[in-house]
Structure 1
Amino acid sequence: MFETLKNAWKIADLRKKILFTLLILLLFRIGSAIPVPFLNPAAIKELISGSGNLLGYLDVLTGGALGKATIFAMSITPYITSSIVIQLLTIAIPALERMAKEGEDGRKKINKITRYTTVGLALIQAIAYYIMLRNTSGVVQYRSGFAGWFAAIVIVLAFTAGTALVVWLGEQINERGIGNGISIILFAGILSRGPQMVSQMMAYLELAKNGQTKYYFMVPLVIVIFLVVIAFIVLMTNAERRIPVQYAKRVVGRKQYGGQSSHIPIKVNMSGVMPIIFASSLLAIPGTIKAFVDPSATSFWGKFLGAFDYNKPVYAILYFLLIIAFNYFYVAVQYNPIEISNNIRKNNGTVPGLRPGKPTSDFIARIISKITLIGALFLGLVAILPIVFGAVSGMNIALGGTTVLIIVGVAIDTMRQMESQMMMRHYKGFLE
């Protein structure tokens, strides 16, 4: 990775793209420090500190901007939701499906629809945030009269405009920078919590100096586990099952086409981090309801909602099962074995030992089913590892499995884009 960065820096065009990307990230971090008027950040920080709270999960994705009540408090979370909704609607609505198959023009139209949907969802989410914050004492400075209405309008518009600005910054990276803009911004927000993890480790070392000697063993263990998890994620992200395809020879005029062997790569982690995001969002709903209602700890609803806290066994079990279920759902939506089989047949290709049509599609479906199970178990283990380790050791780790997956995935994707651009610049043409 460092060698790739070094070589990319030597190329003037790529160096400009890297510097432009860093400039956009600097602007993003500056915006993450500009507070929204009429809000009390200390009260918001206390509100989202509870385990299993949806706001706590969103605070991780925004790089702590939500807890600081800044203009980028919602960051790109409305865009993520909008992208998922449009992606699912593309399968359900024939007009969007046709648009998605129109190539570059269709992709631009879908991106435009996604942006408009993002602004709409950001406005709804900002209003919901304001209502929740207003119902919590000590968060909003003015809650009645003309001052209250003015404060409400400023807070909602600041949150909405912040999201629109973040999406625009991400698009600028796509056009003039390096890597996927939205992913890079999400990467930068999560990575900004790294100092918090370091400070936590230092705090545990201070506890070790004060007599709790177990932390002399636990802190190095956390670092080792962190490095092993990163290596495991890199391995599984690059892992794939290759289905061999043999293309038949055909003669057109005096030329012969085909006859070569190829393969269809089936990634082990086909769905990326999406199943974890779905499962986390769903399981965070009880914690958010608990924050709204604040039931007595001894009441039925208090015990029921408390069972979904982040550090409870029920949460870990449901989390693991939901990740597996959502992984199968997401893969089923994204990959159609019948369509893959038809594309192979249209290109005069066959899977060795199988007839075209239903036998090929059944074979591909079995392969995808097995690979999906392996990918789901991988995602589940990575996601619940911090929960299990925290329950056993009693340590609170700032970076969880989801955030590590996002960081590693974005880093790998960005490095691949750099390598491909460098390869294009060093490609020897037919004149050489």
Structure 2
Amino acid sequence: MAREQAAALAGSGKLQELWSRILFVLGAFIVYRIGTHIPVPGVDPIAIAALFEQNRGSILDVLNMFSGGALSRLSILALGVMPYISASIIMQMLTAVEPRLKQVKQEGEAGRRKIQKWTRYAAVVLATFQALGVASTVQGQEVGGASVTLITGFQFTIVCVLALVAGTMFLVWLGEQITDRGIGNGMSLIIFAGIVAGLPSAIAGTFELASSGEFSPLFVVFLMVAVVLVTAFVVFVERGQRRLTVNYARQQRGNKVMQAPSSYFPLKMNMAGVIPPIFASSIILFPASLVGFFGSESAGGVAGILRDISTKMQPGELIYTVFYIGMILFFAFFYTALTFDPKEIAENLKKQGAFVPGIRPGQQTARYIDGVVSKLTLVGAIYLAIVCLLPELLIVNYNVPFYFGGTSLLIIVVVIMDLMGQVQSHLMSQQYESLMKKTNLTGKSGGGRKRRR
């Protein structure tokens, strides 16, 4: 009886660890939400909110969605984690083409830490440029004849840049803490928390538009049905697998030759996950985060070019749609190539005495797996493009809040599925450890009885 209680306590300790991780994530969300309401020193929050409201319906709404509403308040977390994501894209691309960085990556955990450190440095540089763009464009803006900044000139620029860069790096640190001490990917969870925080106001705004007559009740029902269908479609595809049949070499046991049972190697339909649309959004939003935050006046030189790009890169524009699809396709193949190595899989199968029926082990198996993965990646990229772009037709044509867009729904669903999978893994690990301890205790007690005989 005492032994069984000890085993139960061990299992409850594992469950307690899971609860601690979940509570840590929830606590990090609370800290993040508090930070989104702390304005940059030297700005008038009411005037900033009114100014942002005047610029609704542009790519600023997408920026605001990814920042969890912090941009519309010009809080210290207004830049969000997008500078870090942009830096990650740059570092991953350089790692793929630069031999010295490839060598660093192959150093294992030490190499990973070096690349992560360089990514943080790059994030500081990008965040500084973006913060300078914010500071330069906010100054001089007025609402109702009153300036949106309480201080001006070089003093405001320094304060604004320091606050925004510090806010971004704090989010990077918070995301890393969530990854290490919580559940799931910290950066994805921060973006997820920002999107979810805006859903209640988006839903309330939709019903308010319906009550005022701008949306018909039938359209609201259609919108809700569309959200449910898109969610179901995302779940269906994310759970979809292409199973490669794998046979094992025959094994001789005594005088008999036994045929090992067949197995399968699962390949996800969408192996890149939610990374391609996040990376694509980061690339598209980068020019808009440098200039054109709140003003529309023309400018020459580099600022004018960036302003023209950010103006043309608006949801609903043809160039935006084409570029977004192209970026999703590129990052789907790029990220899959980074995270999945067919040669390594084929080599591991060969070492285990396994083979794909009809395919010779080794190089031919690697080519076969690479072909299957390429087809799956293309299907997954098309699926991502459809999910991310089709709902935006509603946003552009019917002024539906951006929180009902395909990108936001995709991030919410995929992150929730990932969290559920990790929670199930923790629970399965707890049950397995409890079972093993019970088995060991039973074996020891049985051995003791034999010795007493």
Structure 1: 5+ residue runs without aligned partners? 1-6
Query: Normalising to structure 1: TM-score of the pair?
Result: 0.82
Residue in 1 aligned with 2:245? Answer: 244
CA deviation digits over 1:269-308, x for unaligned, max 9?
1222232234334445676767666459xxxx99998664
Q: Residue in 2 aligned with 1:425?
A: 430
Quote how far apart the aligned CAs of 1:215 are: 1.1
Q: Matched residue of 1:73: which SS?
A: coil
Q: Kindly report which structure 2 residues correspond to 1:23-422, keeping only aligned pairs within 5 A, or say none.
A: 23-41=27-45, 42-43=47-48, 46=51, 49-53=55-59, 55-134=60-139, 136=141, 138-143=147-152, 148-208=153-213, 215-248=216-249, 261-284=262-285, 294=297, 308-313=313-318, 315-391=320-396, 393=398, 395-422=400-427
SS at match of 1:426: helix
TM-score of the two chains, using structure 2 as the length reference: 0.78
Structure 1 pair 332/258, CA: closer, same or farther in 2 (3 Å)?
farther
Give the aligned residue type for 1:32.
Answer: T
Q: Aligned AA for 1:411? A: I
> Separation in 2 of the partners of 1:304 and 1:91?
28
Counterpart of 1:21 in structure 2 is 25
Deviations 1:190-237 (A, max 9, x none): 1111122112222222123xxx6x611011111111111111111111
TM-fit CA distance, 1:402: 0.9
Whole-Å Cα distance in 2 between the matches of residues 36 and 215 of structure 1?
40
CA contact (8 A) 1:45 1:68 kept: no
Distance in 2 (CA, whole Å) between partners of 1:326 and 1:197 is 29
Q: Give the percent of matched residue pairs that are identical in Structure 1 and Structure 2.
A: 36
Is 1:207–1:215's contact at 8 Å kept on the other side of the alignment? no
* Structure 2 Cα separation of the partners of residues 283 and 20 of structure 1: 33
2:228 corresponds to which letter in structure 1?
A: L
Inter-partner Cα distance in structure 1 for 2:421 and 2:351: 30
Aligned residues: 410
Q: Secondary structure at the match of 1:244?
A: strand
2:247 is paired with a residue whose SS is: strand
Contact 2:63 2:71 in 1 (8 A): yes
Q: Which moved more, 1:156-165 or 1:345-354?
A: 345-354
Structure 2: runs of 5 or more not aligned:
1-10, 300-305, 443-453
Change (3 A) 1:109 1:246: farther
The one-letter code of the counterpart of 1:221 is F
What letter matches 1:359 in structure 2? Q
Q: Which letter does structure 2 place at the counterpart of 1:218?
A: F
The structure number with the bigger radius of gyration is 2
Structure 2 vs 1, CA of residues 101 and 243 (structure 1 numbering), >3 Å: closer, same or farther?
farther
Does the C-alpha gap of structure 1 residues 294 and 240 become closer, same or farther in structure 2, counting only changes over 3 Å?
A: farther
Contact 2:206 2:400 in 1 (8 A): no
* Distance 1:88-1:348 versus aligned 2 partners, 3 A rule: farther
Q: Is the 8 A contact 1:17 1:178 kept in 2?
A: yes
Over residues 104-127 of structure 1, what are the superposed CA-to-partner deviations in whole Å (9 max), with x where a residue is unaligned? 444344333333333333333322
SS of the counterpart of 2:208?
Answer: helix
CA shift in 2, pair 1:344/1:294, >3 Å:
farther
Instruction: Give the conservation status (yes or no) of the 8 Å contact 1:52–1:308.
Output: no
Question: Which deviates more, 421-430 or 383-392?
Answer: 383-392
Deviation at 1:103, TM superposition (A): 3.8
Partner of 1:3: none
Shift of 1:354: 0.8
